[in-house]
Amino acid sequence: MRAFAPERLVAARKMELRDVEHVARLELESFTAPWSADTFTHLLDRPGCELWVLDDPEAGVVGYAVLWCILDQGELANIAVAASHRGQGHGAYLLQRVMEVARDRGVERLYLEVRVSNTSAADLYRSFGFTEVGRRKNYYDRPVEDAVMMVVKP
């Protein structure tokens, strides 16, 4: 796998309780049906759940990812980068880190869903080897839209 280096210095690290409010704001900025801060707080200690943030030395938390790992299967449940930091390699850097974590945990297949209209995210996933394996009709709301299901061997 190729190594991605973002244009600005950021560090990928495990999410901590002090990050939750920042992550919840990013979630609100990024998704039409956002998870609450309480959801992230409860996930911090949940077995099989990996929560990661991108920490910018000047801006603070500028991205995050949520990975579920159950036996040899994984799901990238959420990944987002602040609008101010998109297009700078941060999403690729975070995705690369999450895939390393999945591999280290013994995940053999990593799944995700992405909005049909989110072609930039789908293109990023394809660049990491994800392939489409199906569609979920009307999976998203606000607006109602299909999800593309993708999988990769991390």
Do residues 67 and 76 lie in contact, with contact meaning Cβ atoms separated by under 8 Å?
yes
Catalytic-labelled residue, pool 64, 93, 125, 140? 125
Q: Is the dihedral of CA 112, 81, 25, 21 positive or negative?
A: positive
Report the alpha-carbon distance of residue 134 to residue 143 in Å, rounded: 20
Catalytic-labelled residue, pool 113, 132, 139, 140? 113
Closest listed residue to residue 51, CA positions, set 71, 30, 80, 29: 80
Query: Does the annotation count 113 as an active-site position?
Result: yes
- 8-state DSSP, 153: -
The CA–CA distances, whole Å, from 13 to 53, 54, 65, 97, 145 equal 6, 7, 10, 9, 32
Distinct helix (H) and strand (E) counts, the chain: 4, 7
Query: Does the annotation count 93 as an active-site position?
Result: no
Residues catalogued as catalytic: 113, 125
